[in-house]
């Protein structure tokens, strides 16, 4: 399931790193300066695209 979604996002131009362990995922967000409470991670446009999309 995770690989399928990774492929979908990569086709849209996103750079994707898969984490199935929630603690690892949270640590990854924090190491990149992205808050899990960010409005963008709740579906609001803007910040998530800048944080996740490759430039």
Distance CA 36, CA 32 (A): 11
Q: Which residues are paired to 12 by β-bridges? A: none
54 versus 41: the higher-pLDDT residue is 41
The whole-angstrom distance between residue 33's C-alpha and the CA centroid of its chain comes to 12
Q: Provide DSSP, the chain.
A: -HHHHHHHHHHTTB------SHHHHHHHHHHTT--TT-GGGGT-SSHHHHHHB--
pTM of the model: 0.52
Q: What percent of the chain has pLDDT over 90?
A: 16
């Amino acid at each position: 399931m995770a690989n399928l979604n990774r492929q979908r996002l990569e086709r849209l131009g996103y750079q994707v790193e898969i984490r199935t362990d929630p603690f690892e995922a949270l640590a990854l967000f924090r190491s990149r300066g992205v808050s899990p409470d960010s409005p963008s991670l709740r579906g609001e446009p803007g910040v998530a695209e800048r944080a996740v999309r490759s430039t």
